[in-house]
Structure 1
Amino acid sequence: MLHHFKPTRYYNTIGAHEPALAVADGDTVVTTCVDAWGQDARGERLTQGPNPMTGPFFVQGAKPGDVLAVHLDRITPNREWGWVRTSLAFNAVDPDFVRELPERDRAIGKWRVDLAAGTATLESPQTRLGAFTLPLAPMIGCFGVAPDGDQAISTATSGPHGGNMDYNGFVAGVTAYFPVFVEGALFHIGDGHALQGDGEISGTGVEISVEVEFTVRVIERKAIGWPRGENADFIFTVGNARPLDQALYRLRSQGVLNKLGV
């Protein structure tokens, strides 16, 4: 079944919130996500950041110990501009250098998004790159399921439930797999990007509101310990920490790297 869902409430945590819509195994949902600041397709700020989530979606038949597979059918930016921070993120530098960074809320750039041409062009600030243009690669930065133990985890971070993973491989055509911790899984989605580099050293990609279409599938009695992704060429996993070796250690302690032969 195909569902067209218009969100009226958003969450800045991923947890066991009241379901916004119940769907069945195999159903497809078409909905919208505001940007990381809570701005919609018209630029109107509907809610507060960070990373407001659409949903959650209750997937009938999903139980703890199962896996929720979410296929990203389509991710389409739905406005003609996006924003980006132009300063390094505080957690991307050693603490001694943080005081030298500019005030974060003032270090904002704007990109013009041309959906027909499939490009994004830097409009401000003015740089020596001129009209710097890149191809669009729309992706989802933050999505996942309600975590274990009645937790409500900030959309600024990630964990075994998914969350703010900000991996530019989560594009249309990819299937993401999440461990199910609660009845119905309670799937959340948001934080659309028009494009993003390999990581968010400025704390953002090109942040934009999007229309998204996804299909859910329940894989019964196939427990996993960490989110995974699958595209036409690879099966992959994601995680983050500061520094990188902490992320690798955590994945190894979960047994993920051993299973992948890494």
Structure 2
Amino acid sequence: MTTHRFEPTRYSNVIGSLAPALTVASGDTVVTRTLDAAGFDSDDVRQASGPNPMNGPVFVEGAEPGDALKVEILAMTPTRDTGWTYSVLAANVVDPGAVRGLPPSEKTIWAIDRDASTVRLAEPVKGLEDFVLPLAPMIGCFGVAPALGQAISTATSGEFGGNMDYRLFGPGATVWFPVSAPGALFFLGDGHAVQGDGEIVGTGVETTFEITVRLTVEKAARLTWPRAETATDIITIGNARPLDQALQHATTDMLAWLTADFGLDARAASHLLGQVVRYDIGNVFDPAYTIACRVAKSWLTRRQSA
């Protein structure tokens, strides 16, 4: 297998069937440096416009509609010592009557200590003078070209992935995307140094990264929505608005996964989900919301293929 160092010469604010920027074989590794969500590079020089300029697309040989693209997130290393956020809760995550009481939102700078692996406000806020967070890198926006030749804004998400802003999509996670175009056409960008559930101020701590991923084609997987695994959990993703529709997509796909790969019928899977499921909120700021349906692997025995 080959490792490719991918240095983009162009960036995209859509995920779609664009001309490939790099072609790799299934199982190859790609190392690339990303811009932040506003298009600034590791030297804080603006190289592209927002929102969420993507590196790519990467054409993966052998990927065809109906397959899945397996994306292993191997490493994420910050490439600068600052990140930024907005400073106030988004209007859509509080009661309408509370919106008028919110102060104006401003861009706020955060300091990233790459040696200590910590993140803190560059200028302390009253009451948060000792507020230090562990560095928790994650990819906010990534995915594959959608069906029917569509090109969809990196501000949102769908079956193809996109701007999901789910905090468990970091190093050690494996994510599968349903392939809808030849070569899959994989995009990634929008790295966060840390983020809470929901991206409820409209950002994580936005910064730049060197990201290493391994891309592998899994034939005839017939996925509908992104799926993921971490060391401890299996996860299905639903992207939609309203929030209950995203939850329905994620739960339906988890039911399908449990019955197809873990030897459970619908009744057994229902009992299991009813008592052990965990729901995480990926993004409730952008046009499509993201819900992650998560089950601990400790409850599961994977069916062995013949």
For 2:180 and 2:96, the matched residues in 1 are separated by 36
- How many correspondences in the alignment? 258
Deviation at 1:232, TM superposition (A): 1.0
Verify the 8 A CA contact 1:84 1:204 in the aligned structure 2: yes
TM-score (norm 1): 0.93
- Counterpart position of 2:61: 60
- Which structure 2 residue ranges, 5 or more long, are not aligned? 259-268, 274-306
For 1:102 and 1:182, the matched residues in 2 are separated by 45
- Counterpart position of 1:150: 149
- Does 1:258 pair with 2:259? no
| Counterparts in 2 of 1:98 and 1:8: CA distance versus 1, 3 Å | farther
Larger Rg: 2
- Does 1:43 pair with 2:44? yes
Verify the 8 A CA contact 1:147 1:181 in the aligned structure 2: yes
For 1:240 and 1:99, the matched residues in 2 are separated by 29
| Counterparts in 2 of 1:158 and 1:86: CA distance versus 1, 3 Å | same
Mean Cα deviation higher: 194-203 or 118-127: 118-127
- Does 1:117 pair with 2:116? yes
**1:144-193 residue CA offsets vs partner (Å, 9 max, x unmatched):** 00000111111111110000010000111111100000000000000000
Verify the 8 A CA contact 2:235 2:254 in the aligned structure 1: no
- Counterpart position of 2:92: 91
| Counterparts in 2 of 1:65 and 1:241: CA distance versus 1, 3 Å | closer
For 1:136 and 1:181, the matched residues in 2 are separated by 34
**Equivalent residue of 1:258, what SS?**
helix
Deviation at 1:89, TM superposition (A): 1.7
For 2:134 and 2:149, the matched residues in 1 are separated by 41
Letter in 2 for 1:229: A
Any residues of structure 2 matched to 1:209-228 within 5 Å, and which?
209-228=208-227
| Counterparts in 2 of 1:209 and 1:90: CA distance versus 1, 3 Å | same
For 1:220 and 1:167, the matched residues in 2 are separated by 26
Mean Cα deviation higher: 131-140 or 58-67: 131-140
| Counterparts in 2 of 1:206 and 1:101: CA distance versus 1, 3 Å | same
| Counterparts in 2 of 1:249 and 1:46: CA distance versus 1, 3 Å | same
Letter in 2 for 1:168: R
Deviation at 1:101, TM superposition (A): 4.0
Deviation at 1:132, TM superposition (A): 1.4
Letter in 1 for 2:108: G
**Equivalent residue of 1:124, what SS?**
coil
Bigger relative contact order, structure 1 or 2, given CA contacts below 8 A and separation 6+?
1
For 2:213 and 2:32, the matched residues in 1 are separated by 9
- Which structure 1 residue ranges, 5 or more long, are not aligned? none
Mean Cα deviation higher: 121-130 or 70-79: 121-130
**Equivalent residue of 1:239, what SS?**
strand
**1:75-107 residue CA offsets vs partner (Å, 9 max, x unmatched):** 111000000111112332345554554444xx1
Verify the 8 A CA contact 1:15 1:150 in the aligned structure 2: yes
Deviation at 1:124, TM superposition (A): 3.1
For 2:254 and 2:28, the matched residues in 1 are separated by 32
Q: Which of the pair is proportionally richer in helix?
A: 2
Mean Cα deviation higher: 217-226 or 119-128: 119-128
For 1:226 and 1:34, the matched residues in 2 are separated by 26
TM-score (norm 2): 0.80
Mean Cα deviation higher: 81-90 or 140-149: 81-90
Any residues of structure 2 matched to 1:15-26 within 5 Å, and which?
15-26=16-27
Letter in 1 for 2:63: A
- Counterpart position of 1:180: 179
For 1:242 and 1:103, the matched residues in 2 are separated by 26
**1:187-246 residue CA offsets vs partner (Å, 9 max, x unmatched):** 000000011112211111110011001101000111111001111111102234455323
Q: Write out the 4+ residue segments of structure 1 that deviate beyond 6 Å after TM superposition.
A: none
**Equivalent residue of 1:149, what SS?**
helix
For 1:47 and 1:95, the matched residues in 2 are separated by 34
For 2:17 and 2:221, the matched residues in 1 are separated by 22
Verify the 8 A CA contact 2:65 2:182 in the aligned structure 1: yes
Letter in 2 for 1:31: T
- Counterpart position of 2:5: 4
